[in-house]
Amino acid sequence: MAENANAGISKKRHFKINNTAILFIILAGMFIIASYVGRPFFFSKLNLIPMINNLSFIGVVAAVLTMVMVTGEIDFSIGGNIGLTACLTALLLERGLPGWLVVVIVLATGAAMGAFNGMVVTVIGVNSMIATIGTMFIWRGIGYTLTNGESILAMNPVIDYIGRGFVFKVIPFPIVLLVVVFTITYIVMHHSKWGRKIYAIGSNPLASFLSGINVKKVKFIGFLICGMTASLGGLILTSLTAVGMPQHGQGLELLIISSIILGGTVLGGGKGTILGTLAGVFILSVLYNFLTIMNIYYFYMQIVQGTILILIVSTYEMKQTMIRRRT
Amino acid sequence: MEKVTKKYSPVMNFLRTPTPTLIGIYIVMLIFFSLGSENFLAIQNMKGIFNNFAVFGIMAAGVAVVMVGGGFDLSVGSVAGLAGIVSAVLLMKGIELSTPYVFVIAMVIGCLVGLINGLIIVKVGINPIITTLGTLAIFRGICYFWADLNPRIYNIFVQNFGRKYIGGVFPVTTVYIIVAFTIITLIFKFTRFGRNLFAIGGNENLARLVGIPVDRTKIISYMISGFFAAIAGLLLISQLGSGRPEYGTGAELEIITIVVLGGVIVGGGKGNFLGVFIALVIIQTISNGLVLIDLPVYLRMVVKGALLVLVIAIDAIRSKRHLLRY
């Protein structure tokens, strides 16, 4: 907040490029480097379409998690949620339920999971970081229990279309979902009353409480929608892989939270933009895709992921400290 | 000073901590599990429980130190894995470094890792949960450098380190736990470091204003946690007889549960190590009891997650922080 106030007074403001623009420039640079070093494979259709499909299911979850993180909370349980969703989808399809009903049931279950997180965090007042680490294990454990640890085939016209369908025979359906989710969250976050409330709560919960905002309600609904979209992400992943297995989405929370923080959302809340998150998701997805093309061993990728998370947070934190010192 | 009407009574002070409740829970659990399975109270099973809890106990002791100071350490499982596999590789046929060196190297690794965590958290000022989540992934990734070696432990001393029974009944690992918890309790009761850490956990800004070396104390607390995790890693390779990169995966869940159940408040400033010790026994007994009453393996994961949420909810209610949240 101090940064914005300062920028207003500063005479140099005309020369200031905002963070999101920098991120998009970095993304463009990465694209050029990746397509040169990773040629001829990086720019082939075989690589780009899976990459974009993967990216869109990560992006869908990240967009809504940004809303939760701007209110100052966090949700680690998204990975577990995706795992449980995948299992549930496959099991319900196995029972012979119609595709649309499965989608409705699964999204409702996701909302219920989100609501549980929200209840624990807002009503009891638990630290959301630890509470959602607990629920992450619960969701994944339920997934394992339901399927007995096996992976189950999930084939159904409706489910197939969610991840592998094409709109007008050209645009992959996940991209459409991504665009829709991002547009909605963008409008909510930046052009609605609700969005102003979210930012207010993130920057000063006590002040927002005193000025009449129902802080608990806003946070609770954030968690609820986050759970629901995590399930949507789970549906896309199930459809992409055509299989429901409890390991789906394992370790995904690290990737998603890193991309959100890379996009400029601050851990304590109050700052962050949807476009920034979009850029963050794109950058990390391109990076990991590039590393995969360069044949980096999966476990070393873990090192890269952890390092990137810490580096990103430290960069923002140091910038923050520098600004504080200047004022 | 003589006019103080409320006299300090160690008994009343003890009763005010969560420890008596924990002891009560433990007795109820003992009855429940011994009714559920006739093997539960068997000597062999009890020996197993006590031998098993060393690894988690030592890690929990370290994490409790960090959490009293208001920090958090999720990376202990990975640190244990890293220290374990490095020592196992050093003990492998062909290298066979002598045992004291291996132990020293493992402990140095633990301290270094703690130093890294501490420096990032304190000097850069990142949230400890995010930092240690990152280092958790990093150190686990490093473990896989030696994944294809699959080192076995042939060294007799290292084998005995975690497996020996004193007099055939009493597991030697229990001694380590008791020693670790005693040392930490003494540090916290009688040294400046311990008092400082409690002060920092209670109110960091105030502690800084009073002149307590906050940064140094916090970094040392992370180093203690890393050190204990490294010892836990040595115990793991000793008990399992080989070094595998995945040792200690997912330990953080159980350890946070133990520490929080033991009465260390998230955010720091409160906690006693007797409580953590009893919580450790309780959680290990639950793990063991769930196996004996034949709960499906995957359902145990659910129970453990639910246990963490429950414990942390009780913690939130107990510390009355929910009144301050809006």
List of residues 6+ apart from A268 with CB closer than 8 A: A72, A202
Quickly tell me which residue has 């607390």 as its tokens. Answer: B221
A222 vs chain B: nearest CA distance in angstroms? 15
pTM for the structure as a whole: 0.83
Interface of B with A in 242-271 (CB under 8 A): 245, 252-253, 256, 260, 266-267
Query: Once rounded to an integer, what is the mean pLDDT over residues B86-91?
Result: 90
> According to the model, what pLDDT value does residue A203 have?
87
Q: Is residue A97 helix, strand or coil?
A: coil
CA atoms within 13 A on the CB side of B143: 27
Which position has the higher pLDDT, B170 or A182?
Answer: A182
> Encoding tokens for residue A296?
């980096």
| Chain B hits for A313, Cβ within 8 Å | 126-127, 130-131, 134
Number of domains observed in the structure of chain A = 1
Candidate from B120, B140, B305 with C-beta closest to A134: B305
**Is the pLDDT assigned to residue B42 strictly greater than 80?**
no
Q: Distance between CA B151 and CA B293 in Å, rounded?
A: 35
Helices (H) and strands (E) in chain B, counts: 14, 2
> According to the model, what pLDDT value does residue B8 have?
64
- B156 in A contact zone (CB under 8 Å): no
Quick check: A317 and B245 CB within 8 A? no
- A301 in B contact zone (CB under 8 Å): yes
* Among candidate residues B179, B160, B144, the one with its CA nearest the CA of residue B277: B179
Tell me, yes or no, whether A15 lies in a domain.
Answer: no
* ipTM reported for the complex surpasses 0.90: no
Quick check: B309 and A318 CB within 8 A? no
> Encoding tokens for residue B108?
């140095």
> Encoding tokens for residue B47?
């020996």
Query: Once rounded to an integer, what is the mean pLDDT over residues B74-84?
Result: 92
Quick check: A209 and B326 CB within 8 A? yes
| Chain A hits for B130, Cβ within 8 Å | 257, 261, 267, 309-310, 313
**Is the pLDDT assigned to residue B222 strictly greater than 60?**
yes
- Position A244: which residue type? G
- CA of residue B56 relative to chain centroid, distance: 5
| Chain B hits for A216, Cβ within 8 Å | 326
- B113 in A contact zone (CB under 8 Å): no
Quickly tell me which residue has 């993304």 as its tokens. Answer: A27
Q: Calculate ∠ Cα A134-B177-B228, nearest 5°.
A: 65
| Chain A hits for B326, Cβ within 8 Å | 205-206, 209, 215-216
Segment B95-114, tens digit of pLDDT: 778 888 889 999 999 999 99
Q: Distance between CA A178 and CA A161 in Å, rounded?
A: 15
Quick check: B312 and A126 CB within 8 A? yes
Tell me, yes or no, whether A89 lies in a domain.
Answer: yes
* Among candidate residues B63, B134, B301, B220, the one with its CA nearest the CA of residue A257: B134
Q: Distance between CA B160 and CA B173 in Å, rounded?
A: 10
A134 vs chain B: nearest CA distance in angstroms? 5
| Chain A hits for B127, Cβ within 8 Å | 267, 313
- B163 in A contact zone (CB under 8 Å): no
Question: Is there a contact between A242 and B102 (Cβ–Cβ < 8 Å)?
Answer: no
> Encoding tokens for residue A287?
């990076």
Q: Distance between CA A58 and CA A237 in Å, rounded?
A: 9
Segment A294-314, tens digit of pLDDT: 888 877 888 888 888 888 888
Tell me, yes or no, whether A1 lies in a domain.
Answer: no
Q: Model confidence at B6, in pLDDT bands (50, 70, 90)?
A: low
Residue-by-residue pLDDT tens, chain A, 327 positions: 444 444 444 444 444 557 777 788 888 888 888 888 877 777 787 888 888 888 888 999 999 999 999 998 888 889 899 999 999 999 898 888 888 888 999 999 999 999 999 998 888 878 888 888 889 889 988 988 888 878 888 888 888 888 787 888 778 888 888 999 999 999 998 889 998 999 998 888 888 888 888 888 999 999 999 999 999 999 999 988 888 888 888 878 888 888 888 888 887 778 888 888 898 898 888 888 888 888 888 778 888 888 888 888 888 778 777 877 776
If one counts every other C-beta atom within 10 angstroms of the C-beta of residue A179, the result is 13
> According to the model, what pLDDT value does residue A5 have?
46
If one counts every other C-beta atom within 10 angstroms of the C-beta of residue A247, the result is 15
Q: Calculate ∠ Cα B315-B321-B322, nearest 5°.
A: 95
Q: Distance between CA A89 and CA A248 in Å, rounded?
A: 12
CATH number for the domain spanning A139: value is 1.10.3470
Q: Which CATH number fits domain B17-318: 2.40.160, 1.10.3470, 4.10.860, 3.30.70?
A: 1.10.3470
> According to the model, what pLDDT value does residue A112 have?
93
> According to the model, what pLDDT value does residue A17 have?
59
Tell me, yes or no, whether A16 lies in a domain.
Answer: no
- B322 in A contact zone (CB under 8 Å): yes
Q: Distance between CA B139 and CA B79 in Å, rounded?
A: 6
Tell me, yes or no, whether A71 lies in a domain.
Answer: yes
Q: Distance between CA B228 and CA A83 in Å, rounded?
A: 33
Quick check: A300 and B147 CB within 8 A? no
Structural domain range at position A229: 23-31+42-320
- Position B257: which residue type? T
Candidate from A134, A142, A254 with C-beta closest to B312: A134
Segment B116-141, tens digit of pLDDT: 999 999 888 888 888 888 899 899 88
Q: What would you measure as the largest C-alpha separation in chain B, in angstroms? A: 72
> According to the model, what pLDDT value does residue A10 have?
46
**Residue in chain A lying closest to B121 (CA):** A314
Dihedral sign computed on CA atoms, order A125, A234, A276, A280: positive
Residue A18 is classified by DSSP as: P
The packing angle between helices A45-70 and A193-203, to 10°, is 70
Interface of B with A in 174-233 (CB under 8 A): none
Quick check: B137 and A318 CB within 8 A? no
Quick check: A141 and B135 CB within 8 A? no
Quick check: B127 and A267 CB within 8 A? yes
Quick check: A138 and B306 CB within 8 A? yes
Q: Residue B164 forms beta bridges with which residues?
A: none
